[in-house]
Chains A and B, each alone.
Chain A
Amino acid sequence: MEIKTLLKASVAVGALLALAAPMEAAAGGKVSAANSKVDVTLAGRVHRSIHYIDDGTHD
């Protein structure tokens, strides 16, 4: 994909996000544990990265 096409697509996505009305943030729910004397937290992060690369010869 041409770099200009990718840039245009990315800007379009950004514009849609900027125009969209935000959702209300939901409060975190409590995680139950077998040991009732402690507070337990379950958390995580997933990220996806799309890369365009140009090494001067290949892209």
Chain B
Amino acid sequence: MFQGSGISSNSEVWLSAEGKLTESVSMGAYLRWDIPKNDASHSFGSTSGAAASTDATNTLHKYEYIYFKSDAMGTLSMGAIEPAGNGVPAGHFGGLAGDQGAAASATDITTSGGAFSGSEVTDFVGIIDPGIDANRVRYDSPVFSGFALSGDLEEGGGGSVALNYAATISGVEVIAGITYEADGGGDHIVGGTVGAKHASGLHIAFNYAENKTDLATSTDPEWWRIVGGYDAKLNSLGNTNFTLVYSENEDMTTLGDQAETIQVAISQSLDAVGASVTLQYDNYSFSNAAGTNFQDVDTLVFETAFNF
């Protein structure tokens, strides 16, 4: 039994301020501190089998940017902000207590004889999504008929573009997005999402992303998943979201590595206090080019999230 990362590896505190510059233009600033959890990384060790937990890197990750926002012209931001493509390949309507690999943390994979393989679960699984890693200048267009275009230039080289679509058509909420990010260090992420949620609460989404590298000797990790489920108000506490996920990863660390993930989750919103509780089961299975007989890893997570 451990306590660790779930929907995020951090707790977060943020401050934002905004004022009217003119009748149609606002100016604002945003500060956010991501606070790593105590003992967030856990495993059964890689040699002894003794359970151990360790702190994440003991640093605060800080978001800090200033923006100018116009209803007609869009928003121009500068500072430590997510790239335009952030979240685009990972959109869905489910309620999860963490993406692929979060619950497994630093757990090592064992072979059929029980010996440690030398690889961790997260060497095989994970999502591919452009994240904050540098200062940027970012532009977000206004929404035109559901479409929004975003782009950014990264400090020291690189940048990303993204096109997102969100609309409700005949009672069906539709989301779609596509992004390309060159991070300036030789990695190029291409990814996208398409999803729909019916007024009844039934929902489904497909995510795909690939990280292509410039070096011929490097692997090109690839990931896709289907997230489906049912989200409806079944009690007075708030919405209940039943979520089922199937996901595959290839070449995340080593060429020929493959992993399959199944996730089943029930998330209950607690609207009165802006919180939620989620119970989630994950199953991970692995294979590699050498045909090693890896054992599956199963995790069960109970998560409580509180917003203020």
Q: Give residues of chain B (94-126) contacting chain A, Cβ–Cβ below 8 Å.
A: 97-98, 103-105, 107-110, 114
Look across to chain A and name the residue whose beta carbon is closest to the beta carbon of B240: A18
Query: Among the listed A6, A40, A47, which residue makes an inter-chain contact with B8, where contact means beta carbons less than 8 Å apart?
Result: A47
Query: Among the listed A17, A48, A57, which residue makes an inter-chain contact with B237, where contact means beta carbons less than 8 Å apart?
Result: A17
How many residues from A make CB contacts under 8 Å with B? 39
A-B contact count (CB 8 A): 154
Q: Per-residue 0/1 for A30-59: is the Cβ within 8 Å of any B Cβ (1 yes, 0 no)?
A: 000101011111111111111111111110
Chain A contact residues: over half helix, strand or loop, or mixed? mixed
State the Cβ distance, B56 to closest chain A Cβ, in Å: 14
A23-B273, A38-B18, A41-B16 given as contacts; is B302 within 8 A of A49 (CB)?
A: yes
Look across to chain B and name the residue whose beta carbon is closest to the beta carbon of A1: B1
Chain B contact residues: over half helix, strand or loop, or mixed? strand
How many residues from B make CB contacts under 8 Å with A? 58
State the Cβ distance, A4 to closest chain B Cβ, in Å: 10
Contacts of A52 in B (CB 8 A): 1, 299-301
A3-B300, A22-B272, A55-B108 given as contacts; is B306 within 8 A of A46 (CB)?
A: yes
A14-B268, A23-B273 given as contacts; is B19 within 8 A of A56 (CB)?
A: no
The answer to the question of B298 belonging to the interface, with a C-beta cut-off of 8 Å to chain A, is yes
Contacts of A25 in B (CB 8 A): 271-274
Query: Among the listed A3, A7, A24, A47, which residue makes an inter-chain contact with B11, where contact means beta carbons less than 8 Å apart?
Result: A47
A-B pairs with lowest CB-CB distance, top 5 = A56-B295, A49-B6, A38-B19, A47-B305, A57-B114
Q: Which residues does B use to contact A, with CB under 8 Å?
A: 1-8, 11-19, 28, 42, 44, 49, 51, 97-98, 103-105, 107-110, 114, 235-237, 266, 268, 270-274, 277, 279, 295-308
